[in-house]
Chain A
Amino acid sequence: MRHLLSTRDLLRDDAIALLDIAEDMSEVQNREVKKLPTLRGKTVVNLFFEDSTRTRTSFEVAAKRLSADVINFSAKGSSVSKGESLKDTAQTLAAMGADGVVIRHSASGAPQVLAQSGWIDAGVVNAGDGTHEHPTQALLDAFTMRRRIHGDAARGRDLEGVSVMIVGDVLHSRVARSNLWLLETLGAHVTFVAPATLVPVGASTWPVDIRYDLDAALAEVRPDVVMMLRIQQERMNAAFFPTTREYARQWGLDDERLLALRPDSIVMHPGPMNRGLEISSRAADSAQSTVIEQVANGVSIRMAVLYSLLSGDREARS
């Protein structure tokens, strides 16, 4: 693999290989010495045009556990905020010898533009671009589901027959898109539940069931996984729904809906959560919740991705 830009073009075998490598990485994290020498001498740049302490930190920890040198290049306080172009930034990083670039950008497609530009030869990892994709989030979510469902026998397995319900602001969610494509590839069945204003136009042509009524959907589908999406502050005043109270009542995972889930259903959230809006505290902190596991698994997945992209002779593979 040269770059990781989306889950849409990830083949099943490649996805499972990444999940399996992440299992190995996860084992390393349980050792006393958590570090591997694999990427010693390699330089990974975290190029963040959008604030995201969680994702950036996760990539940073992952790269450091693989012994790579990590440079954090954030838009704030750098020349980027002074209007420097992506092209100039990329060429600057190339001149400094970056082997891998982890990019977070508010413009959809920016990682792909960077990867195909010829401005820089580094492997590119999409750490979230606009409302397009967030592939490492989808991989860590799939990893989390596979672990919960298959336990120690997870290696080599896909998610055949697993039912996943993704609830909330699908329209603006790169997490929902990346999850849909990857879950489809891995054999899971996906349902989106959202008010019609937050369902993307044309999503009816995607491999997904679309529902508006959360209670009816939960009762009929009885999902293995319920994934709640974050409601961004700026959506609240843009006529997507009348009030946050109405949203929470209709589409929030509150205590009653938590109790109505199957006891073995798992509750996921990519974080950061709006407690009391899309998810109640009891749901977020319940034994069914995987929110904290998702964070831990995020490091394992990002180690697996960086390892796959940057270890060995990249020239020979490109």
Chain B
Amino acid sequence: MTTTLIRGATLPDGTTTDLLVADGRIAERGTAIATPSGARVLDAAGLVALPGLVDLHTHLREPGFEQSETVLSGTRAAAAGGFTAVFAMANTMPVSDTAGVVEQVQALGESAGYATVRPIGAVTVGLAGARLSEIGAMANSRAAVRVFSDDGKCVHDSLLMRRALEYVKTFDGVVAQHAQDPRLTENAQMNEGALSSELGLKGWPAVAEESIIARDVLLAEHVGARLHICHVSTAGSVDVVRWAKARGIEVTAEVTPHHLLLTEDLIRSYDARYKVNPPLRRDEDVRALREGLVDGTIDIVATDHAPHPEEAKDCEWDHAAFGMVGLESALSVVQAALVDTGLLGWSDVARVLSQTPAEIGRLAGHSHSFEIGSSANIVLVDPASSSAFSTDRLAGKSHNSPYLGMTLPGSVRHTLHRGYQTVNDGVVVDAGEVAAAAMGVARG
């Protein structure tokens, strides 16, 4: 196996160190480590080393929607963005609501090798919101599912949500709720307010999200279960989660990069690249979400990477699909919205994009502290670079990014997954090479 010496990286705490990676683990750290013979040397002067990023909310689309993304192409996108683990949402076709499907997704991830793929299981059969899926079978399968979500659809029935919260406790799992009251958002197209009224696009009121979160934190309190809220998007939601945490309710929350940077004003163009669920909100919401992340009300950033083919976006707004790709741009957007604005430091970034999502998802073997002996999942970032975001940066199948043409700071120079490189000098490593390296690690 390759031995890699990372020379002069700056850790999230600001200290500078060399890191020697061997056999998939961090073998040595310190200054002026001698180069072992045959070792690959990565010059990390000026680069920030972060623990491999973990995305708790990715749509890999396989099985069923391979024209948008596959496990292979989606994990390439992940690697390009500095991610070494992704949690794959259950809205595939067939839906990931059985042990068979989640094991298949897991196996596809293992053979591709670009990132650790942890399947998310559906809460209800077929995401239909009527009956619980075989949560135990998925939890006890080889995929060892711990996160359950009907993402894209809200578990709207109050009794079913209560049962799901209770039942998932049995397996140390968590329900990740897509908070959206379906009746209040029928055919909704964008955030409801003066702008939606002016543009004639059907409004998506903030209360449709906030009322579900309020109900669910109270349910979680009542049954003593863990609850995770997907993609919080409004100032009111931040208030509700803050209140719940102050009460001691075991709730965690995520925010997407796009909700931390973009606002509904972009929709004046009727450009469907900005169509997303939950919708882009007001400037006040963006500020409240940033504050929530800074004060710990919001625990993590998760991408909600949602690839779609060109024809799903190149059309009238009402007919376009919801969603944007986000894996490749997430770190740059977080840097723009939070680091360069002085709201977060790199150690906070490591926490919200790696440590805490790994904890919420019960990601085994994940380490964020660069200690000797830990699995070598590392991303090296150049925070001083800045460039116009282009399709060159996109490594997945789809190009539905809202950032194309926008100047963003930072770039991923190298990504190491379990000790082998998936990105080298800003270029995604060839699929064959990565698959071979992954097989080597699996054999030990």
Contact = CB atoms under 8 A, between A and B. Distances in A.
B311 A85 contact: yes
B196 A107 contact: no
Interface stretch (A129-137, A228-236, A263-271): A129-137
Interface in A231-248: none
Contact of B318 (A85, A130, A133, A205): A130
A106 B202 CA distance: 12
B203 A109 contact: no
A250 interface: no
A86 B315 CA distance: 6
B200 A129 contact: yes
A132 B198 CA distance: 7
A200 interface: yes
Given A107-B318, A113-B317, A201 B200 contact: no
A201 B317 contact: no
A302 interface: no
A112 interface: yes
Nearest to B194: A202
Contacts of B311: 85
B316 interface: yes
Contacts of B201: 108-109, 130, 132
A129 B201 CA distance: 10
Contact of A133 (B194, B200, B315, B317): B200
Contacts of B196: 201-202
Interface size band for A: 20 to 34
Nearest to B192: A201
Contacts of A206: 194, 198
B270 A112 contact: yes
A203 B193 CA distance: 8
Nearest to B310: A87
A113 B197 CA distance: 18
B200 A130 contact: yes
Contacts of A107: 316-319
Contacts of B195: 202
Contact of B316 (A86, A177, A205): A86
A116 interface: yes
A170 B113 CA distance: 56
A109 B319 contact: no
B199 interface: yes
Interface residues of B, number: 21
B318 A203 contact: no
A109 B317 contact: yes
Contact of B194 (A113, A132, A203): A203
B183 to A, nearest CB: 11
Interface in A91-145: 105-110, 112-113, 116, 129-133
A310 B341 CA distance: 49
Contacts of A174: 200
Nearest to A203: B197
Contacts of B314: 85, 87
Contacts of B192: 201-202
A116 B317 CA distance: 13
Contacts of B199: 108-109, 132
Nearest to A105: B316
A85 B200 contact: no
Contact of A108 (B194, B200, B269, B315): B200
Given A107-B316, A202-B194, A131 B270 contact: no
Contacts of A112: 269-270
Interface in B279-335: 311, 314-319
Contacts of B269: 112, 116
B319 A201 contact: no
Interface in A197-211: 200-203, 205-206
A127 B315 CA distance: 18
B315 A177 contact: no
A42 interface: no
A8 interface: yes
Interface string A179-218: 0000000000000000000001111011000000000000
A274 to B, nearest CB: 22
A200 B197 contact: yes
A205 B195 CA distance: 10
Contact of B270 (A109, A171, A202, A205): A109
A45 B269 CA distance: 24
B318 A108 contact: yes
Given A113-B317, A132-B201, A201-B193, 11 more contacts: A105-B316, A108-B199, A109-B199, A109-B201, A110-B317, A130-B201, A132-B199, A201-B194, A202-B192, A202-B194, A202-B195
Pairs A-B, 10 closest by C-beta atoms = A202-B194, A132-B200, A109-B270, A200-B197, A108-B200, A131-B200, A107-B316, A107-B318, A110-B316, A202-B193
